[in-house]
Structure 1
Amino acid sequence: MHGAPHVVGDVMTRSVVSVGRRTAFKEVVRLLRGRRVSAVPVLEGGGRVVGVVSEADLLPEQEFRDSDPDRRTRSRRLQDLWKAGALTAKELMTSPAVTVRAGVTLADAAGLMARHRVKRLPVVDERGVLEGVVSRADLLEVFLRDDEELAEQVRREVVARLFPGPGSAVWVEVRDGVVRLVGRVRDTSLVPAAARLIRAVEGVVDVEFAPTEAVSSAPVRP
Structure 2
Amino acid sequence: MNDTWSTVGDVMTHAVVAVGRDADFREIADTLQQWQVSAVPVLTGDGRVIGVVSEADLLTAQDREPETYQGMTAGGMMTAPAVTVHPDSPIAEAGRSMARMHLKRLPVVDAEDCLVGIVSRGDLLKVHLREDKELAGQVRFELIAALHPADASGLDVQAEDGRITLSGTLPDTATAALLEHLVKGVPGVVDAEVRLGVPA
Q: TM-score scaled to structure 2, two decimals?
A: 0.65
- How far 1:156 sits from its partner (Å)? 8.7
Query: Are the structure 2 counterparts of residues 203 and 101 from structure 1 closer, same or farther at C-alpha, using a change threshold of 3 Å?
Result: closer
Where does structure 1 differ by over 6 angstroms across 4 or more consecutive aligned residues? 153-156, 197-200
Gaps of 5+ in 1: 68-82, 144-152, 169-184, 205-222
Alignment of 1:74-113 (within 5 A): 87-113=72-98
Distance 1:158 1:8 in 2: 25
Alpha-carbon deviations, 1:43-82, whole Å to 9, x = none?
1122111111011101124445669xxxxxxxxxxxxxxx
2:95 maps to a residue whose letter is A
- Structure 2 equivalent of residue 10 of structure 1: 10
- How far 1:203 sits from its partner (Å)? 6.8
- How many corresponding residue pairs? 160
Q: 1:47 aligns to what SS in structure 2?
A: coil
2:157 maps to a residue whose letter is P
Retained in 2: the 8 A contact 1:102–1:125? yes
What is the aligned-residue identity percentage? 48
- How far 1:142 sits from its partner (Å)? 3.6
Q: TM-score scaled to structure 1, two decimals?
A: 0.60
- Structure 2 equivalent of residue 164 of structure 1: 148
Alignment of 1:103-182 (within 5 A): 103-140=88-125, 142=127, 157-161=142-146, 163-165=147-149, 167=150
Query: Are the structure 2 counterparts of residues 186 and 40 from structure 1 closer, same or farther at C-alpha, using a change threshold of 3 Å?
Result: closer
Q: 2:41 aligns to what SS in structure 1?
A: strand
Gaps of 5+ in 2: 129-137, 167-182, 190-200
Q: 2:148 aligns to what SS in structure 1?
A: coil
Distance 2:140 2:87 in 1: 29
Distance 2:143 2:69 in 1: 55
Query: Are the structure 2 counterparts of residues 154 and 193 from structure 1 closer, same or farther at C-alpha, using a change threshold of 3 Å?
Result: closer
Alpha-carbon deviations, 1:176-213, whole Å to 9, x = none?
xxxxxxxxx753xx25369x577973279xxxxxxxxx
Query: Are the structure 2 counterparts of residues 27 and 85 from structure 1 closer, same or farther at C-alpha, using a change threshold of 3 Å?
Result: closer
- How far 1:87 sits from its partner (Å)? 1.2
Query: Are the structure 2 counterparts of residues 155 and 116 from structure 1 closer, same or farther at C-alpha, using a change threshold of 3 Å?
Result: closer
- Structure 1 equivalent of residue 178 of structure 2: none
Distance 2:48 2:22 in 1: 15
